[in-house]
Amino acid sequence: MAGDFRYDIVEEIGVLSENAKGWRKELNLISWNGATPKYDIREWAPEHEKMGKGVTLTKEELEALKKLISF
Amino acid sequence: MAGDFRYDIVEEIGVLSENAKGWRKELNLISWNGATPKYDIREWAPEHEKMGKGVTLTKEELEALKKLISF
Q: Residue A4: what pLDDT?
A: 73
**Whether pLDDT at A1 is above 50:** no
CA distance to partner chain A, nearest, from residue B8 (Å): 20
Residues B33, B60, B32: CA angle, nearest 5 degrees? 5
As its CATH architecture, domain A7-69 has Roll (2.30)
Q: Residue B71: what pLDDT?
A: 81
Q: Residue B1: what pLDDT?
A: 46
Residues of chain B predicted below pLDDT 50 = 1
**Whether pLDDT at A53 is above 60:** yes
Q: Read off the pLDDT of each residue in A13-42 and give the average, rounded to a whole number.
A: 97
A16 with B54: Cβ contact below 8 A: no
Using CA coordinates, name the residue in chain B closest to A64. Answer: B16
Alpha carbons B69 and B26: distance in angstroms, whole number: 17
| Bridge partners (DSSP) listed for residue B26 | B15, B42
**Whether pLDDT at A2 is above 70:** no
